[in-house]
Amino acid sequence: MKRSSSVIRRAVLAAAAVALAAGCTAQAAGSGSGGGAGGTTTPSAGTTAPPATPSSDDKPSATPTTEKPKPKVLMDDGDENEQVRELQARLRQIGYFDRAPTGFYGTMTAGSVKAFQKKRELPQTGSVDEVTWQRLLAMTHRPTADELKPSTTNKLDTPDPRCMTGRVLCISKESRTLAWMIDGKVVSSLDVRFGSENTPTREGEFKVEWKARNWTSTIYHTPMPYAMFFSRGQAVHYSADFAARGYNGGSHGCVNVRDKARLAVLFDQVKVGDKVVVHW
């Protein structure tokens, strides 16, 4: 009897030990609310939950960085072609290039392009990209043959108001140019020089009185080809001296032209009675 009670006592103690161990394990798993159906658990007060480890799907994806492509350069320093000549002619139309187009893109052309870009709030690169070129095209007209390869190295100035109507030889002492104009439009232009201080070219409004394809001065005995007389012996005519020496010399009052071929064409277009205006 004593032996059987001892066995029973050991069995009871073993069962209690198993129950106690199960209760500790459950507590460590964390059910402070007594554990309901489904076995959800809530951390007890004072217990710090371990930080959640983000999955690979939760990580922010890297955004690729791409640089904006630079505009394609159409014309730049050192280029020499007909498109550059057109560029210079168009810039000249709106006052950004003050000489005859050459077709060569040098420092002067780059400076003109920069000035144009600055005025339009474009990047001041000095080279012509598509944006610069399109902006210039929108502001100018297609250059004429004379604008692309003008006969004058001097820039034409603003025509005198008297030159804006009819057929006119509009001659400027300021720019030293002759512009052949019809109804306010320049048909062609030429470099010219004038008389010296002792024999000045008269200013004012005149008419072509008479013409002579081949003429020699009866006073100075010098050839005056393609002469168009407009004021008491003063005439527009070709001068070999002007062609050779440029502005280092002067006339005896006539309007000298140095481009013989272009003057020959002009001579055939001008009629007796056409207006002549000599002005500053």
Per DSSP, the residues of the chain read -HHHHHHHHHHHHHHHHHHHHHHHHHHHH--TT---TT----PPTTPPPPPP---TTTSPPPPPP-PPPPPPEEE-TT-BSHHHHHHHHHHHHTTS--S---SB--HHHHHHHHHHHHHTT----SSEEHHHHHHHHHHS-PPPHHHHS-S-SSPP-PPPGGGSSSEEEEEETTTTEEEEEETTEEEEEEEEE-B-SSSPPPPEEEE--EEESS-B-TTT--B-TTEEEEETTEEEEE-HHHHHHGGGS-BSSSEEES-HHHHHHHHHH--TT-EEEEE-
Mean of pLDDT values over 205-222: 94
Mean of pLDDT values over 37-46: 45
Mean of pLDDT values over 141-148: 90
User: In this predicted model, which residue has the larger pLDDT, 52 or 234?
Assistant: 234
- The most confident of the ranges 1-15, 47-61, 120-134 is 120-134
Give the separation between CA 228 and CA 217, rounded to whole angstroms. Answer: 13
Q: What does the pLDDT read at residue 202?
A: 96
Mean pLDDT, the chain, integer: 82
Residue 194 in this model has a pLDDT that exceeds 60: yes
What's the pTM value of the predicted model, to 2 decimals?
0.53
Q: What does the pLDDT read at residue 274?
A: 98
Output Rg (C-alpha) for the chain, integer angstroms.
Answer: 48
User: In this predicted model, which residue has the larger pLDDT, 170 or 72?
Assistant: 170
Residue 83 in this model has a pLDDT that exceeds 90: yes
Give the separation between CA 181 and CA 184, rounded to whole angstroms. Answer: 6
Mean of pLDDT values over 95-100: 85
User: In this predicted model, which residue has the larger pLDDT, 82 or 5?
Assistant: 82
Q: What does the pLDDT read at residue 237?
A: 97
Residue 21 in this model has a pLDDT that exceeds 60: no
Give the separation between CA 11 and CA 194, rounded to whole angstroms. Answer: 140
Instruction: Judge whether 212 and 224 are in contact, CB under 8 Å.
Output: yes
User: In this predicted model, which residue has the larger pLDDT, 107 or 34?
Assistant: 107
